[in-house]
Structure 1
Amino acid sequence: MMMCGLFGSLASYVERDKLVDELAKANTVRGNRGFGIVRWSPMHCEVIRHIGPWQHDHLEPAPVILGHVRAPTGGEDGLQSTHPFETPEFLLAHNGILLNADNIAPSMAYSGNPVDSMALVHGIDRALRSGSSVPDAIAGTAASLDGQQACWLWHKREAALYLWRVMSTLFWAESDRSRFVFSSVSYGPANKPVDQGKVFRITPDVPRPVVVADFEFYSPYME
């Protein structure tokens, strides 16, 4: 089953090379029905969503660029179903399919046909508002949802990136300690698989992954 692709770069400086565009193009084998980009700098955060295949002219340099290309497994084929999904605290993109998203989805505010990925960001947001820390909110929500998931989540208030996965592929680069790069497909320096069942936190000032939570997970695809 074709799913989606995640990719991104995070550093303390503005990166002007072509690697992120190359990662985006490499990930289009996983999805070309739509794409979303988060571009962040200390003074500005921009979110772009577009229907159709990846277009590199949307990619202006920034210290943090997070992307998603979409091959829908559910939901409507429109901008409201295009990642990333947003709450006041978070932006989230997901690759995979969730089998019990309805456990969370009925409490969400949306118009139109919901996408299973919305259960992740709204579940995490609800847990945070209930008093959990961000790592615990992610771990608890991820553990409660069966199926496949690889996610990036941008926490706006702390300007931090969180990554985790269950079954769905996700790779990162180890070689450059001044810049963090990740991708759903193994490409260039992004060739080390991300450990499953762990939540990693990365910040632009120290762009190295740190484990901040663990969670148990279940996927029938593993049987």
Structure 2
Amino acid sequence: MQKIFLALLISICATGAYAQNNFKIIVKSQESKSILQAATMSVAGTSLITSSNEAGIALLNNIPAGKQLIKVNHIGFREKTITITFPVNQQTPFEVFLEQSEDELEEVIISSTRTSRSIQNTPTRVETIELEEIDEKSNMRPANVSMILHESTGISVQQTSATSGNASIRIQGLDGRYTQLLKDGYASFGNFANGLSILEIPPLDLAQVEIIKGPASTLYGAGA
């Protein structure tokens, strides 16, 4: 009988040692006493972690029995550590008050001009290929204007048809339909540059090539 009672006692102790517990807290600001959502609660030495909801309540499940360190932190507030011995008889959420941190973020300066500036007068990075370089590359492949663009960074010429020689110009990885071809400031090919052969542009007719890498549809219309 004593052996049976001893075995039962050991079983009860083992069950209590491995019991999993739940713990609920509500996070508030020490100064304003307002609730803090998105606060992080974790158990030291474990992978248990959770965050507070819109009501400032955070719930941790499956906490091992025994003395545990609960860490609570929030951006802009000092981290707080509380010691709880589990199991614990909890009827209401445990209130945790966080103090605001004195650490400040780096200063961000936003400046504006006193005069209005249109998009046309805003500086834009433009890469230029001069006539001398155009002539040099045209001598290598006189009938193919794409040779001029091959050495420009961020630009790739992708052949779309081996029969007609059609090719599309891709800038910074975007599809060719986002590339606009302009000649003397006017859209080439009736504003439909995608899928048309850039071989239709005679290299000898070019005096300068300007490349704008970035969105410019405000200045040059849709597709730029």
TMscore range, shorter length: under 0.3
Q: TM-score, normalised by structure 1?
A: 0.21
Structure with the greater alpha carbon radius of gyration: 2
- Relative contact order higher in (CA < 8 Å, ≥ 6 apart): 1
